[in-house]
Amino acid sequence: MRVTRRQFASIAAAGTLTLAGCTGGNNDGGGQSPTETATATSSETANGAAGTSVAMVNTAFDPVRVSIDAGTTVEWVNDDGFEHDVTATQFHDSAADWSFSTTLSGGESTTFTFEEQGVYEYYCTIHGESMCGAVLVGGATLEPSLPCESGGDDGDRY
C-alpha cells in the first residue's frame, strides 16, 4: 500500500501527540492540555531541510502550537473539504510582526520557513480567531493563551 506524504504526516503527527500524552501533562487525563506546546512531527521538505506539518481539520489548526528550530519549514495542509487560509497576525505584543497570507482549497498545502527566533501567530480569516495557531521558533515561549485555546485571553496588546 502506498502512503502519500500528507497521510504519512497525519499518521506521524497523531503518533507524536499520542506519545506526548503518555509522557505526562498537567490535566486530569494525563494528556496534553490545550495550552501546552506540541513538538510537531519532523519530515523532509523538497529542499532537504527538516520541516513540520500542521493540519487544518474541523475548522481548527492541529496542533495549535508548534515548537521548531530556526530554519525549519512549516507546512499547513487543508484536510477539510472547504477553504481555509493562513494569515499572519499579532494577538500579543510579544509576537513577531511577520507577513504571510495564503488561501487553500481542500487538499492543498502551503509552506513557510522560519529563519528567526520568535513567536509567530496566525489565524484563518474565513473562520475567525477561533481558528488560530502559533509557531514558537528557537526556544521562544508564549505564556498567554491564544484566542482559540480554552480560556483564551485578549492578549497583552489591549
Q: Where are the domains of the chain?
A: 5-26+37-137
Q: How far apart are CA 98 and CA 119, in angstroms?
A: 10
Q: How far apart are CA 106 and CA 8, in angstroms?
A: 17
Cell numbers describing residue 73: 519549514
**Domain 5-26+37-137: what homologous superfamily?**
Cupredoxins -  blue copper proteins (2.60.40.420)
DSSP tag of 80: S
Beta bridge pairs of residue 51: 43, 73
Predicted model pTM: 0.68
pLDDT in tens, the chain (158 residues): 443 444 444 444 444 333 333 333 333 333 333 223 333 333 443 333 457 999 999 999 999 999 999 999 999 999 999 999 999 999 999 999 999 999 999 999 999 999 999 999 999 999 999 999 999 999 999 999 999 997 655 444 33
